[in-house]
């Protein structure tokens, strides 16, 4: 990745969570990202790295052992995936329910209980 002042070998986007299992499941099972690594108890943090195919970018989900809640992020603090080629995605009802429940749960984790925008 070339920038005006330097060339980057890789880009890491880190996102904290208190719901590691649910968040990782959403990205792995719901969106199909591949787990490229993980770590446990590195200075109190557990983490999972999820890769985008053929890209030098990865998403790192982290959880600190002492954090039970996180501050509410600003509404413009987004992680957006732009899709270049659309294709029909087939999913059975169980998969759709998993993705929906996970998205609603993640949304409530950010916005607070009962404040999901779904």
Tens of pLDDT along 43-94? 999 999 998 777 788 999 999 998 888 888 777 887 877 766 655 555 555 5
d(CA 70, CA 37): 24
Higher pLDDT, 27 or 103: 27
For the cut 80, the answer to whether the pLDDT of residue 34 exceeds it is: yes
Among positive and negative, which fits the CA dihedral 62, 68, 73, 79? Answer: positive
Please name the residues in contact with 10: beta carbons below 8 A apart, sequence gap of 6 or more: 56, 57, 58
pTM of the model: 0.65
């Amino acid at each position: 990745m070339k920038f005006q002042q330097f060339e980057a070998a890789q880009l890491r986007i880190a996102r904290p969570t208190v719901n590691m299992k649910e968040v990782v499941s959403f990205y792995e099972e719901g969106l199909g990202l591949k787990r490229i690594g993980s770590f446990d108890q590195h200075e109190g943090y557990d983490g999972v790295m999820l890769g985008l195919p053929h890209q030098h970018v990865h998403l790192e989900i982290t959880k600190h052992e002492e954090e039970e809640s996180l501050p509410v992020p600003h509404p413009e603090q987004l992680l957006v995936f732009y899709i270049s080629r659309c294709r029909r995605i087939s999913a059975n009802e169980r998969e759709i329910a998993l993705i929906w429940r996970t998205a609603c749960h993640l949304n409530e984790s950010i916005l607070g209980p009962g404040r999901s925008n779904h």
